[in-house]
Structure 1
Amino acid sequence: MELKIAKADHLQRIMELINDAKAYLKSCGVDQWQNGYPDQHSIENDIRKGTGYLCIADEKIVGYVCIDFEGEPAYETLCGKWLSTQPYVVVHRLALDRHSRGKGLASQVFALAEALAQKRNIHSFKVDTDNDNEIMKHLIEKNGFQYCGTICFDNSEKIAYEKLI
C-alpha cells in the first residue's frame, strides 16, 4: 500500500469512504462520527492544507486518512501526561473501504505515517479515539502506542495516545 496526497477531484470517493465508516461505527454501537463529523468541509480543509491522503492498494483507493504535522489544539488540554513535548505527527479521520477492513491496512497506514514523520525528523506520533471505539483502541495499542490521558474534541471526551518513533 502507498499514500498519495488527496486532491479535490477525489472528494466524492473520500466522502463515500467516510460515510461508509460512519455506518460501520454505528453498526458496531460506537458513537464516534455519529453527529455529522467528519463532514465534507473537514475533508475539503484537509485537502486544502495538504494533510489529506489517499490509501492506494492494487491501484485502487481503499482508504483515506489525515496526517498532520501542525499539531492538534485539543492536545494542549490533555488530562494526563504526554510522553514528550516535542513536535509530533497526528493521524485523524482514518476510513478504510469495507472490503479492505481486517486485512492489516490500518497498521500499514500507521507505519507509513511514521515513515513520513521520520523523514521530517519527527519522533513522536499522537492519536486519539472515543473510549467506546474498541476496534481503534486495539489498533492503536497493537501498534505500540501508550495511553496518555483524555482530551475533549468534537464535544466529547477522547482517549489520547502517544508513541515515540
Structure 2
Amino acid sequence: MRIRETQEKDLVFIDAIFNSARDFMRLNGNPQQWNQNYPTAKDVAQDIKCKRAFVCVNDEDTPVGTFALFDHEPAYDHIDGKWMSDTSYKAVHRIATVREGKIGSFIIKYLEEKYGHLRIDTHENNIPMQNLLEKFKFKRCGIIYIPGHGQRIAFEFVK
C-alpha cells in the first residue's frame, strides 16, 4: 500500500469507501456521525481542488482508504480542554477505509512518520477510531465543536 494525492479518477471509489465506513460505524454503535449527505465524493472533489485530498491505494493503485489533510482547522481554535502544543499542525479529517486489512493503521502510521504534529477529532460513539488513535499514541485533549456536526473528542499527536 501507499499514500498519494487523490485524483478525479478516484472519486468513483470514494463514495463506496464512505458507504463501507458508514456501514462499519452503524454496526459498531455509531450511526450518527456520518449520514448519506456527508461525506461524499463532492466533498473530496473540493478537497482535490485545494490539494488536501489523499488516498491509500493497494498494489493495483485502487483506492482502499481516503482522508483529508488541512493546515489549520478553525474549530480547533476553541477547545474545552487543552492542546498539548501550540505549534503548527496538520488536521486530519474524514478518514475512511474499506473493511479489510489494517488500512486505518497504515494511514495513521504514515501521517505520524511524515508530520510531527497532528490533530484529529471523532464522535464520542466512534470507539474503533478512538482505540486506533490511542494505539498510535494520540492523546485526548478535550472537546471541540464542529459547526453543523456537534461536539467531538479532540486528539493530538506530537512527536
Q: Please, what TM-score do these two structures have when normalized by structure 1?
A: 0.87
Q: After TM superposition, give the deviation of residue 105 of structure 1 in Å.
A: 2.0
RMSD: 1.5
CA deviations on 1:102-135 (whole Å, 9 max, x unpaired) are: x322121012112332xxxxx3111110011100
Matched, 1:47 2:40: no
1:9 maps to 9
* Match runs of 1:1-165 below 5 Å: 1-30=1-30, 31-34=32-35, 36-59=37-60, 60-68=62-70, 70-98=71-99, 100=100, 103-117=101-115, 123-153=116-146, 154-165=148-159
Identity of aligned residues (%): 30
Does structure 1 conserve the Cα–Cα contact (< 8 Å) formed by 2:2 and 2:57?
yes
SS of 1:150 mapped into structure 2:
strand
- 1:26–1:34 Cα contact (<8 Å) kept: no
For 1:7 and 1:131, locate their aligned partners in 2 and report how far apart those are by CA, in whole Å.
32
Q: 1:3 deviation in Å?
A: 0.3
Secondary structure, aligned partner of 1:87: coil
User: Counterpart amino acid of 1:90?
Assistant: A
Deviation at 1:20, TM superposition (A): 1.8
Q: Is the 8 A contact 1:51 1:66 kept in 2?
A: yes
Moved segments of 4+, more than 3 Å:
none
Q: Distance in 2 between matches of 1:137 and 1:14?
A: 23
* Letter of the 2:68 counterpart: C
Amino acid at match of 2:102: G
Unaligned segments of structure 1, at least 5 residues: 118-122
TM-superposed CA distance for 1:35, in Å, is 6.1
| SS of equivalent residue, structure 1 residue 158 | strand
Q: Which stretches in structure 2 are left out of the alignment for 5+ residues? A: none
- Give 1:28 shift: 2.1
SS at match of 1:37: coil
Whole-angstrom CA distance in 2 between matches of 1:112 and 1:55? 10
TM-score w.r.t. length of structure 2 = 0.91
Letter in 1 for 2:106: Q
Matched-pair contact (CA < 8 Å) for 1:65–1:95: yes
> What is the letter of the counterpart of residue 48 of structure 2?
I
How many residues are aligned here? 156
